[in-house]
Structure 1
Amino acid sequence: MPRYALKIEYHGAPFRGWQRQHDHPSVQATIEAALRRLDPSIDKITAAGRTDAGVHATAQVAHVNMSREWDPFRLGEAVNHHMRPAPVAIIGVAPVSDEFHARFSALGRHYVFRLVARRAPITLEAGLVWQVRKPLDSAAMQEGADRLLGHHDFTTFRSTMCQADSPFKTLDRLTITEVPHATGIEYRFDVRARSFLHNQVRSFVGTLERVGRGHWTPDDVTAALKARDRAACGPVCPPYGLYLAHVEYPEDPFART
């Protein structure tokens, strides 16, 4: 059965996350329903990672086995047609070998979190950024972020509902960049690792925002990490500023599309 990789963009607000759920809308179920309009034999699609309710994606990756060969462009167009008006789009389709697996072939995931500081309410980007009212100390947040880099037991920054076998992960990058924003400042968190624990990125951002406000110091971040205790974590930030921005593979399946 021909296998295709799908690059997917979605607005997470209407969904209970990526994973198919009984009686709740999900991104996975939306795409699968559209695919079955084209090929009723399709069972399921497999994604690089499961995003939570309200989390967005600019480049989620999934794979699907079809019963016949499709022109990649036509497959993407057909799936997009059948998903309307849901805020989900297939932005890339590539034929891949049977050995390609969206989840297990991935070498790393890249998330971006957008936090905007301004007094006026967010209007045009409501539901797409987390807003705070006062500017933050980005240098202090970066110093706190640097304390989290490397291989650690991240129990403190792991949801109690996390199903991962181990709390140990290697954080490769956590950088904070200031970006001009209308009447305010956007703090863009660039977070990269091979894989993440449940709520790990949102736990990082919520904790670092506390550092940026001056309520914590970078040393408090180190102490929280060493505590290996969920109760030592700062507040978990809302999901709607978080984006799955890139999934890395040994060879980019979309490089030729």
Structure 2
Amino acid sequence: MRYFVELSYNGGRYCGWQRQREAASVQATLEAALSTLLREPVEVTGAGRTDTGVHAAYSVAHFDTAVPLTDPRQTAYKLNCLLPDDIAVFGVTPVAADAHARFSAVEREYCYFIETRKNPFTRRAAWQYRRPLDAERMDRAAALLTQYSDFTSFAKLNSNNKTNICRIVRAGWEESPEGVYRFTIRADRFLRNMVRALVGTLVDVGRGRYDEEEFRAIVESRDLSRASGSAPAEGLYLWDVAYPAEVFRRGERTQNLLFY
């Protein structure tokens, strides 16, 4: 029987989602808890492979069991008791045998947070960039991304991508009254390190290093050396994963736990 797990995690102490031989990962931690609870070896497959230090406000993974769960809601409760405090499970839901957390997803959304003041409570939850930024300039430049599909300029080298083509359906910046900048980007797929490379380059737009047309030229160049340095991992969150309605519907009790 196959189940989808809806979860969130703080990636600060993990090497990323993917299981590593000598470092703690979210995948391995979740597998260990499930294996202990269900008393059988369990492997999980995630909707995406977040990098070291990257968080997930909402993510999905799937696992299979030899025997159907008698009470998935109780399984979610017990799973939360076994997991460390930096991983939270929203729900466990039975799905079709061919439903796949990664390949069945049709869109994913990431958010990136930048705080412009020194804040001891968010230093590992946002990029504390204490220089003035022009949110309107960054927003106009980000809007250009929906006009393109090849993002080689923001693709990490030697990442073995079969293609650098992505369909971005939304990209934009907003600024809160408290001075927190939030970048939201939604697409059918993302390249490794793509969002952090985009944020780093867009911040250079916001501080006046590039104008909108220079940013456009960077996108069109398909040259990674033209992009700015990547933004730090701690500001990045996997924010949403969407599936066709016939595959899976997001649970009602999955509000993002962030205070932003």
| TM, length-normalised to structure 1 | 0.93
CA deviation digits over 1:9-53, x for unaligned, max 9?
100000000000011000000000001102343341011110011
Per-residue deviation, 1:135: 2.3
Higher strand share: 1
2:52 matched to which residue of 1? 53
Alignment of structure 1 residues 61-76 onto 2, 5 Å: 61-70=60-69, 71-76=71-76
2:105 is matched with 106
The verdict on how the C-alpha distance between 1:256 and 1:3 changes in structure 2, with shifts beyond 3 A counting, is farther
> Shift in Å at residue 78 of structure 1?
1.6
CA offsets per residue over residues 162-210 of structure 1, 9 Å max, x none?
A: 22201111111111111122xxx11111100011000111111110000
- Give secondary structure in 2 for the equivalent of 1:247: strand
The answer for unaligned runs of 5 or more in structure 2 is 254-260
Contact 1:94 1:253 in 2 (8 A): no
The structural deviation recorded for 1:256 is: 6.9
Structure 1 gap ranges (5+) = none
Shift of 1:227: 1.2
Cross-structure match for 1:220:
214
Specify the SS of the correspondent of 2:200: helix
Q: Which amino acid aligns with 2:77?
A: E
Match of 1:124 in 2: 121
Contact 1:94 1:254 in 2 (8 A): no
| CA separation of 1:240 and 1:212: change in aligned 2, threshold 3 A | same
Give the residue type in structure 2 aligned to 1:166.
Answer: T
The offset of 1:151, in angstroms, is 3.7
**Does the residue aligned with 1:93 lie in a helix, a strand or coil?**
strand
Aligned to 2:80: 80
Q: State the alpha-carbon separation in 1 of the partners of residues 29 and 198 from structure 2.
A: 30
Name the CA distance, whole Å, in 2 between partners of 1:218 and 1:202: 18
Q: 1:253 aligns with which of 234, 249, 256?
A: 249
2:134 is matched with which residue: 119, 134, 137? Answer: 137
In the superposition, the TM-score normalised over structure 2's length comes to: 0.92
Query: What is the SS of the residue equivalent to 2:4?
Result: strand
